[in-house]
Chains A and B, each alone.
Chain A
Amino acid sequence: MTLAEVVLSIMFVGLIAYALFGGADFGAGIWDLLAGGTRRGARQRDLIERSIAPIWEANHVWLIFVLVVLWTAFSGAFAAVVSTLYIPLTLAAFGMIARGAAFAFRKSVTTLGMRRSLGAAFAFSSLVTPYFLGAVVGGVASGRVPPGIAAGDVITSWVNPTSVLGGVLAILVCAYLAAVFLCADARREGDDVLADQFRLRALGTAALTGLAGIAGLFVLRADAPRLFDGLTGRALPAVLLSVVAGVAALVALATRRYLPARAMSALAVTAILLGWALAQYPYLLLPEVTIEEAARGRATLVAMLVALVGGAAILAPALVYLYVLFQRSADPHAPPSRTLSR
């Protein structure tokens, strides 16, 4: 691997982490939206709230991480992507603001009306934000971002079949991950009824995601032939791994083994992201700019590598501590603490 590929791979690890943790976070918001009326949905909403409260901020720093690595090490490609796709990116940023603020503030307000509108803002932005991010991925993956500042079409770069596919898949994957994760949370709280509700949702979204994936292959063949060739060629093992892991997750869900289900669903999502990366390799911006061409000076890449390794050495224990602390205090018999997840 070249230095540039190493740095890009580390960025990609951040992207996967964002897809898993941030994705489940968005998905929890989507289930909040679909939890039903005020009374009926209350228990689900409670669980969702408890599951994401202490960690939602940390989950979203992964995205910042992806952005800053790209803009430092691959400045030109980054500038091309954000200036062409600025509309969905701005909308996604607005969605994150609405989501973060509404989630943060809604429990501090007491009037029902305020809570309702903040709750609605939280849930709605949880739905649209992953859509826009998925549409951005679709635009990049289908080769609609040429090099240069705002050189691509600011509309069709994200309003196109591959982007729609990316957006829809992003929503489905978020919802699916969240449902799987919440199953185990509900079980840990000793609430089997709730766990079963989320189990059904996980199975349902898994089926939908699978269908969308199959339909997506046809979309890609027509709209993004290069990506299609990659996915069915070099990246085929990753795609197959994703399918196998997805089926394994289904089996685990069907037999109510929630922790293996978590692992398998995470693997399925990771594998499909890897598939995208492999299919696109060695291009950063299809079909013109390769990773090597986009990479900036050696001194910068080396500095990045030092920072990334050193930073990870500090970050990893802190993250582990956070999750361990929450899982430990998630013991339902320890009174003041209520459950937390992931």
Chain B
Amino acid sequence: MTPWTVLADAAGNLYPARMQMALSLGWHIVFSCFGIAFPLITVFTEWLGHRRGDEHLTALAHTFAKAMGVLFAAGAVSGTLLSFEMGILWPVLMDRFGEVYGFPFVLEGFAFFIEAIFVGVYLFGWNRLSPRAHMLSALPMALSGMAGAFFVVAANAWMNNPTGFSLDDQGRVVDARPWAAMFGPSTWPQVVHMLLGAYMVTGFTIASVYAVGMLRGRTEPRHRAGLVIPLAFAAVVTPVQIGVGDWIAKTVAENQPAKLAAMEGLNRTMAGAPLSVGGIYSGDRMRYALEIPDGLSLLIHHDPHGVVRGLEEFPADQRPPVNVVHLAFDTMVGLGTALLLLSAWFGWSWWRRRRVPASRWFLRAVGVSGAAAILALEAGWVTTEVGRQPWIVYGILRTADAVSPAAGLYLGFYAVAAIYLVLTALTVVVLRRLAASPATPAPQEVDAEPPERSSGEAAVR
């Protein structure tokens, strides 16, 4: 191949490779949230059931555990694809920086190994282990889920804020220090924000399934508990998440000023910068936005006259696509605020009356809260990832230079899109069945029910 065709291929591969990465990650993240947060919610329900001697709660926990098994399986297969894609799509990134930031992935491998083992133990051990041993077996699962998230997000935080290495004059890494790279300035805010986000997604989504059930007239105790327990988890976490959002925004302002400026569509560096809600950025300024005077300066510096840097300070080829980032950021913050209100409504009613608000509007709101939380999470990641553009490693390596030049790579995107379409449909079918009939086994369980006999045939499995 001549150098020219190699270049042409790299250019042609860039867009589909990004889309493929975004699609795979965007899909995986939803399921990994359940891998992070579902174990604790499930084992809490189980514990409550044993403590109160309440059969309904124990049965509910069993249903939770099965749903967790299905979601875990979906998370595991999509994660496997991701591990391949990191190298297949971005070999230059791995080549140049694998030794610096690949390390957390090694630890992540262990964390998921432990998690996969104990998901097997937990589901298999239902009714086989003593309640105590069984609940204990959930703890490694909960811990390793969170640890796994830490490691992956630490790797992402490194891409946002690369630390722990030096470059020689040809741009080659010398003196890689993987431990230091894992604990860069973005790591803690991003990890905490992600973990809380996972609890919000999981809590609101499960609660919304039961809320829809209650709207359809299913109000037995088991159903109520299915709404209240996950919702309580989510409602406790939400206000904290908003606070952490403030922390993470400050970290971004400090380390990635171009991203922050894009999040707010701020062109000029100024004191007393406004907070822009909605609107479109064109011709180097925000149009049609609702502006809250001094809002941004207050948020970032806790001072109405604080100076915020605008996009004008960065050469045009170092600015992220403003509209996507701004819109995604507003979506996240808007939905986060809405979920905060919902949590407050629930908390108030529980505090004063020890019950779920009676209004059907409450159930409707909970019914959509799961989708809202997932959307907020995706929007947050779009803010982070698109806001980092055009860099794959902020300030050091451009995304366009990291993509594989291999011929035909772009075709992978179409295949991945088709596969995820099928996979999503299947997951939904299986979860719906699980909701309709709690006897449905989870993938890790062995005692599968035989299939319908009505067709007169023996089992096909």
Q: Which residues of A come within 8 Å of B, CB atoms?
A: 38-39, 42, 45-46, 49-50, 53-55, 57-58, 60-61, 63-65, 67-69, 71-73, 75-76, 78-80, 82-84, 86-87, 89-90, 92-94, 96-98, 100-101, 103-112, 114-116, 119, 149-150, 154, 296-297, 299-300, 303-304, 307-308, 311, 314-315, 318-319, 321-322, 325-326, 329, 336-338, 340
Smallest Cβ distance from B429 to chain A, in angstroms?
7
Smallest Cβ distance from A267 to chain B, in angstroms?
24
Does B130 belong to the interface (CB within 8 Å)? Answer: no
Report the Cα distance A319→B43, complex, angstroms.
22
Instruction: In the complex, identify which listed stretch (B108-116, B189-197, B278-286) lies at the interface while the others stay far away.
Output: B108-116
Report the Cα distance A204→B289, complex, angstroms.
73
| A65 & B103 in contact (Cβ 8 Å cutoff) | no
> What residues on B are CB-neighbors of A61 within 8 Å?
109, 112-113, 116
Q: Which residue of A lies closest to B406 (CB)?
A: A150
Q: Which 7 residue pairs of A and B lie closest in terms of their CB atoms, listed nearest first?
A: A75-B98, A72-B102, A104-B443, A296-B99, A104-B73, A79-B95, A82-B87
> What residues on B are CB-neighbors of A319 within 8 Å?
117
Smallest Cβ distance from A22 to chain B, in angstroms?
11
Report the Cα distance A42→B460, complex, angstroms.
6
| A300 & B455 in contact (Cβ 8 Å cutoff) | no
20 contacts between A and B (CB under 8 A): A53-B448, A54-B124, A57-B76, A64-B83, A65-B106, A67-B87, A68-B109, A69-B106, A71-B87, A90-B88, A104-B74, A112-B451, A149-B95, A149-B404, A150-B6, A150-B405, A297-B173, A297-B175, A303-B178, A311-B106
Does B412 belong to the interface (CB within 8 Å)? Answer: yes
> What residues on B are CB-neighbors of A107 within 8 Å?
441, 443, 448-449, 461
Report the Cα distance A45→B330, complex, angstroms.
52
| B86 & A71 in contact (Cβ 8 Å cutoff) | yes
Report the Cα distance A104→B423, complex, angstroms.
11
Other 11 A-B pairs with CB < 8 A, given A39-B458, A46-B459, A58-B113: A53-B448, A58-B116, A67-B83, A86-B404, A97-B78, A100-B77, A115-B461, A154-B407, A299-B177, A318-B140, A322-B121
| B446 & A78 in contact (Cβ 8 Å cutoff) | no
Report the Cα distance A149→B102, complex, angstroms.
18
| A296 & B176 in contact (Cβ 8 Å cutoff) | yes
| A110 & B451 in contact (Cβ 8 Å cutoff) | yes
Q: Report the tally of A-B residue pairs with Cβ distances under 8 A.
A: 276
Given contacts A38-B457, A79-B95, A303-B179, is CB(A149)–CB(B405) below 8 Å? yes
> What residues on B are CB-neighbors of A304 within 8 Å?
103, 106
Question: Could you say which of B84, B96, B433, B443 contacts A89, with CB atoms under 8 Å apart?
Answer: B84
Given contacts A94-B415, A110-B452, A303-B178, is CB(A318)–CB(B446) below 8 Å? no
Report the Cα distance A108→B437, complex, angstroms.
10
Q: Which residue of B lies closest to A93 (CB)?
A: B84
| B105 & A72 in contact (Cβ 8 Å cutoff) | yes
Smallest Cβ distance from A15 to chain B, in angstroms?
13
> What residues on B are CB-neighbors of A42 within 8 Å?
458-461
| A325 & B125 in contact (Cβ 8 Å cutoff) | yes
Given contacts A83-B404, A101-B74, A110-B452, is CB(A300)–CB(B458) below 8 Å? no
Majority SS at the chain B contact face: helix
Question: Could you say which of B74, B94, B405, B449 contacts A75, with CB atoms under 8 Å apart?
Answer: B94
Given contacts A149-B92, A304-B103, is CB(A108)–CB(B120) below 8 Å? no
Smallest Cβ distance from B362 to chain A, in angstroms?
32
Q: Which residue of A lies closest to B127 (CB)?
A: A336
Smallest Cβ distance from A131 to chain B, in angstroms?
16
Report the Cα distance A319→B10, complex, angstroms.
43
Smallest Cβ distance from A308 to chain B, in angstroms?
7
| A108 & B443 in contact (Cβ 8 Å cutoff) | yes
Does B333 belong to the interface (CB within 8 Å)? Answer: no
Does B207 belong to the interface (CB within 8 Å)? Answer: no
Does B298 belong to the interface (CB within 8 Å)? Answer: no
Smallest Cβ distance from B262 to chain A, in angstroms?
30
Question: Could you say which of A49, A60, A108, A337 contacts B442, with CB atoms under 8 Å apart?
Answer: A108
Q: Which residue of B lies closest to A114 (CB)?
A: B429
Given contacts A104-B74, A111-B452, is CB(A71)–CB(B105) below 8 Å? yes
Question: Could you say which of B77, B98, B174, B409 contacts A79, with CB atoms under 8 Å apart?
Answer: B98
| A96 & B99 in contact (Cβ 8 Å cutoff) | no
Does B150 belong to the interface (CB within 8 Å)? Answer: no
> What residues on A are CB-neighbors of B434 within 8 Å?
108
> What residues on A are CB-neighbors of B87 within 8 Å?
67, 71, 78-79, 82-83
Smallest Cβ distance from A68 to chain B, in angstroms?
4
| B451 & A97 in contact (Cβ 8 Å cutoff) | no
| B112 & A307 in contact (Cβ 8 Å cutoff) | no
Given contacts A68-B109, A76-B95, A108-B433, is CB(A303)–CB(B408) below 8 Å? no
> What residues on B are CB-neighbors of A111 within 8 Å?
451-452
| A90 & B460 in contact (Cβ 8 Å cutoff) | no
Report the Cα distance A336→B124, complex, angstroms.
11
> What residues on A are CB-neighbors of B7 within 8 Å?
none
| A58 & B451 in contact (Cβ 8 Å cutoff) | no
Given contacts A45-B461, A57-B120, A104-B74, is CB(A315)–CB(B99) below 8 Å? no
| B460 & A38 in contact (Cβ 8 Å cutoff) | yes
